[in-house]
Chain A
Amino acid sequence: MEPLSWGEIIVRILWQFTPVWISLIAVFALSITYKRRLGLYGKLFDSTIGMIGFALVMFWVFTGFYAAFDLIATHDPLAQASGMKNKVPGTFWDGAEDGQYAYYLLGGDNLARDVFSRMVKGATRVLMIAPLATIFAFMVGVTLGLPAGYFTGTAVQRGTVQYLLWALSAIAVLFVLITGGLASAITLAVVLALINFILTVTTLDTMLSFLSNLVLAFPVILLFYLLVTPEIVQTGIPSYMAVVLFVFPVVFFAVLFNSRFHTQPTKQRTYVGATIVIGVFLYACVISTPGTVIDFMPRSIDLVPMEPNLLVVFVSVVFVNSPTVFRIVRGLVLDIRTRDYVAAGQTRGESPWYIMLWEILPNARGPLIVDFCLRIGYTTILLGTLGFFGLGVSPESPDWGSTINEGRKLLSIFPHPALPPALALMSLVLGLNLLADGLREESLRD
């Protein structure tokens, strides 16, 4: 059989995307019809740039969604077909059986896998990890940025809490003295005394800003190499980081409901109780990962059975992103806390956390939504970078960064395996940036 011409390839690819086109048209038709009733989302359809961005993003969202149900890909992204190694786009596959697609639409890679299917399946991976990681980074950044911007006094006031901290430190040192030995006990005592001292003389803001600057001054690639290598994973450092980072969403929602229903004890108990029960369960599911040092959940009730590599990638991406979110939130809070409605809240006797979460945060939503869109794009780039250096989820995985990394080795002879994932990544990030730009423009208009 003859290989397909470029025209035929394009037509066939467009045909493969049929469910995506239908969904896109449906979304746009509905949104444009009801755009006056849809708030900021509806206003997006007044700006051309915003609409283009939204279309690009939704294209990949739908592609990822349908690809998860095997609707778009023509082949199994991991299956290798004999004779299809490095074949050019549109090559006929003579080994195809009944019901199998007879062409490699975008050619085969150096392991004779279908490039088109890998690109489509990669969308599922990328669109699952990137937004989730961004949401987690936002939870961490918001939970830390709000108090850093809001509280002006020292982190720990002189009084009960201070004595409590010193007492706890003393107990810890005694415990180490009995179990560990003199040398480690002295080290611990010095460290804890220093921490307690710093807590009483500096503000929370100074401390957290210093920490976030520390992470920001770290070259991202070095950090990835240090966190993702098998030796470090073996010591469990990424797992311990997961233990710390994933607490924040639970804390965030618990505090959110606790402060909201402060005056309605029944509701407060139900909501906070439910959040803590569900949150802690999910938290345990996420941090307990088979094959790492923290693995305590029985398989049968572990709802989120992550691969160890995925957890590491996830943790490092959240870790890199959260300081920037922290700085943005802190800056916004510093600005908003001088407003009259905050003063009114304080006079009413609202608790600080109520003011932060229910007065300041909703009023900071505009810049945060815009940054959220940009940050998903940036996270996608980071994930690609990880894949590009072979530090990604797994070498087999069809995510775009890893595919580009594999394709670049033979790039000057066979450019076709690396180009589709590269263009896909670029169009998704471009879409997110345009969407953010459109949102910013429309939210500034009123």
Chain B
Amino acid sequence: MGLFILRRLGVMILTALCLTFIVFFLTNLYPNLEKLAKSQGNNRMSDEQVASWLDRNGHLDPLLVKYGRWVGVLPGWTNTAEDGTMTGRCISPGMAPEDAPRFCGVIQGKWGYSTVFKEGAGEIVNRRLALTGKLMLWVMILMVPSALILGVLAGMREGSRTDRTLSTFSIASTATPEYVSGVIFIAVFASSAVGLKWFKGTATSAMDNATFENFFLPVLTIALYGMGYIARMTRASMTEVMTAQYIRTARLKGVSFPNIVMKHALRNALIAPFTVIMLQFPWLLNGVVIVESLFNYKGFGWTLVAAAGNNDIDLLLACSVVAVFVVLVTQLISDIGYVFLNPRIRIA
């Protein structure tokens, strides 16, 4: 088990390095840097001015060196201007060059500076992640139990009318992406022109003060798309368990049907959905980005879109590290959890 986790961790770190390098490469392509120089300096810079600005700010060094600096394994660049003032990657404004640390990368906790929000990228991502965490918490609270109930009810008696109805519902919910269900919900429940006016069409106010009225629609929108998939997996696993020998034995010795489902079938049937729920996180991330843009909830997904749209390189890198980290960690947990929950593998 220990060796297994160790090997998985090794692969995970390698994957994370590869992925962040790819993002780093794509965000540091010359046209992007040119745009950055023009937005930071001024819009009418000539090509030579752009090149000299980039050179002064350490953007023209070899890619691997820049990546090493960003990670924090290579010392940051420094530059001495003609009048003797020193600037550098690790020298923040107002700091004496002598006091500046040599290394300042992700390892040292320095995430860079957002050129659009005029703030450290790390702080922005922290704050926004907390908001998204709140959203995700409620999504999980709504999605997981209802998906499991749907799946168990449908898989209990395969082919029954309940099964058909619930399965069709799960299919319909997987067929409705967030931007479709969100639009429909807003039109039906929140439109000021027609409709029911039960909820609010934006969740901006939910960032400070989440109420049922302003927070339910975004939560429901994300939960609905993921729900169908988990429910179908649960159903598949439940139907498989219900045909197992030990269930037949239990029935033959006269255990009541609710008892069979609750005590004998459920525990074994929930192993597979656990991994599925964990692997749903990357997809939820997708949903979060869509829903936060649609409902104007300024969380992590909204930040990612803003950073990508505004060519905010450091912030985009920070966002992608978080996103990649979430995906890899959930994959790891799902693998370990699968081994841990399944006695056949754990004991063997």
Asked, given contacts A217-B19, A389-B305, A434-B171, whether A412 binds B192 with beta carbons under 8 Å apart, the answer is yes
Q: Which of A218, A389, A426, A434 contacts B324 (CB 8 A)?
A: A218
Q: If A237-B26, A415-B187, A433-B171 touch, does A426 touch B176 (CB 8 Å cutoff)?
A: yes
Contact (Cβ within 8 A) B174 A433: yes
Stretch at the interface among A93-101, A153-161, A226-234: A226-234
Q: Is the CB of B23 within 8 A of A222?
A: yes
In the complex, chain A residues 212-256 whose Cβ is within 8 Å of any chain B Cβ = 213-214, 216-222, 225-227, 229, 231-232, 234-235, 237
For residue A317, CB closer than 8 A to chain B, the reply is: no
Task: Write 29 A-B pairs (CB below 8 A) sorted by A numbering.
Answer: A49-B168, A210-B15, A213-B15, A217-B331, A218-B22, A220-B286, A222-B319, A222-B320, A225-B305, A226-B27, A232-B32, A235-B30, A384-B179, A384-B180, A404-B180, A404-B183, A411-B191, A412-B190, A412-B192, A412-B193, A415-B193, A415-B194, A418-B183, A419-B184, A422-B183, A426-B180, A429-B175, A430-B176, A433-B174
For the complex, is A271 an interface residue (Cβ under 8 Å from B)?
no
B337 proximal to A (CB < 8 A): no
Q: Separation in Å of the B109 CB from the closest CB of chain A?
A: 22
Q: Does B304 contact A (CB under 8 A)?
A: yes
CA distance A434 to B171 in the complex (A): 7
Question: By the criterion CB–CB under 8 Å, are B179 and A235 in contact?
Answer: no
B68 contacts chain A at the CB level, 8 A cutoff = no
B177 and A430: CB pair below 8 A? no
The answer to whether the Cβ of A414 comes within 8 Å of any Cβ in the partner chain is yes
Establish whether residues B31 and A425, one from each chain, have CB atoms under 8 Å apart when the complex forms. Answer: no
Stretch in B74-82, B149-157, B287-295 touching the partner: B287-295
Q: How far is the CB of A234 from chain B (nearest CB, A)?
A: 5
Please give, as numbers and ranges, the residues of chain A lying within 8 Å of B286 by CB-CB distance. Answer: 219-221, 385
Are A219 and B324 in contact, CB atoms less than 8 angstroms apart?
A: yes
B40 to chain A, nearest CB (A): 15
A337 at the interface (CB under 8 A from B): no
Whether B187 contacts A418 by the Cβ 8 Å rule is: yes
CA distance A419 to B184 in the complex (A): 7
Considering the chains assembled together, what is the distance between the CA atoms of A49 and B23 in angstroms?
Answer: 43
Does the CB pair A221–B289 fall under 8 Å? yes
CB-defined contacts of A229 to chain B, threshold 8 Å: 308, 311
B319 / chain A contacts, CB cutoff of 8 Å: 222
The B264-321 residues at the A interface (CB cut-off 8 A) are 282, 285-286, 289-290, 293-294, 304-305, 308-309, 311, 319-320
Q: Which residue of B lies closest to A424 (CB)?
A: B180
Q: Which chain A residues border B167 with CB–CB below 8 Å?
A: 437
4 further contact pairs, Cβ within 8 A, besides A219-B320, A423-B180: A214-B18, A214-B19, A222-B304, A389-B293
- Counting residue pairs across A and B whose Cβ atoms lie within 8 Å, the total is 144
Is B9's beta carbon under 8 Å from chain A? no
Cα(A388)–Cα(B305), bound, Å: 12
> A429 → chain B, closest Cβ, in Å?
4
Interface residues of A in 352-409 (CB under 8 A from B): 377, 381, 384-385, 388-389, 401, 404, 407-408
A contact residues around B261 at 8 Å (CB): none
Query: How near does chain B come to A210, taking the closest CB pair, in angstroms?
Result: 8
Which label, helix, strand, loop or mixed, suits the secondary structure of the A interface?
helix
Query: What bracket does the count of chain B residues touching chain A fall in?
Result: 35 or more
Which residue in A214, A401, A419 is a CB contact (below 8 Å) of B15?
A: A214
Give the 7 A-B residue pairs with the shortest CB-CB distance, closest first. Answer: A415-B187, A225-B308, A231-B31, A430-B175, A429-B175, A219-B323, A412-B201
Rounded to whole angstroms, the CA-CA distance of A317 and B213 in the bound complex is 37
A142 to B: closest C-beta gap in Å: 23
- The CA of A262 and the CA of B62, in the complex, are separated in Å by 50
Q: B64 contacts which chain A residues (CB < 8 A)?
A: 187
Q: How far is the CA of A214 from the CA of B324 in the complex (A)?
A: 10
Residues of A within 8 A of B180 (CB): 384, 404, 422-423, 425-426
Alpha-carbon distance between A431 and B22 when the two chains are bound, in angstroms = 37
Q: Is the CB of A426 within 8 A of B282?
A: no
What separation, in Å, do the CA atoms of A437 and B171 have in the docked complex? 9
Q: Which residues of A contact B19 (CB under 8 A)?
A: 214, 217-218
> Chain A residue with minimal CB distance to B30?
A235
Q: Which residues of B contact A418 (CB under 8 A)?
A: 183, 187
Task: Say whether A22 faces chain B, with CB atoms less than 8 Å apart.
Answer: no
Q: Which residues of A from 302 to 355 have beta carbons under 8 Å from B?
A: none
How far is the CB of B174 from the nearest CB of chain A, in Å? 6
Please tell me if A1 contacts chain B, counting CB pairs below 8 Å: no
Distance between Cα atoms of A86 and B257 in the complex (Å): 57
| Residue of A with least CB distance to B294 | A408
A30 at the interface (CB under 8 A from B): no
Over the window 12-55 of chain B, the binary record of Cβ atoms lying under 8 Å from chain A Cβ atoms (1 yes, 0 no) is 00010011001100110111100100000000000000000000
Whether A301 sits at the interface, judged by CB under 8 Å, is no
Quick one: given A222-B323, A415-B193, are A408 and B174 in contact (CB under 8 Å)?
Answer: no
What residues on A are CB-neighbors of B11 within 8 Å?
210
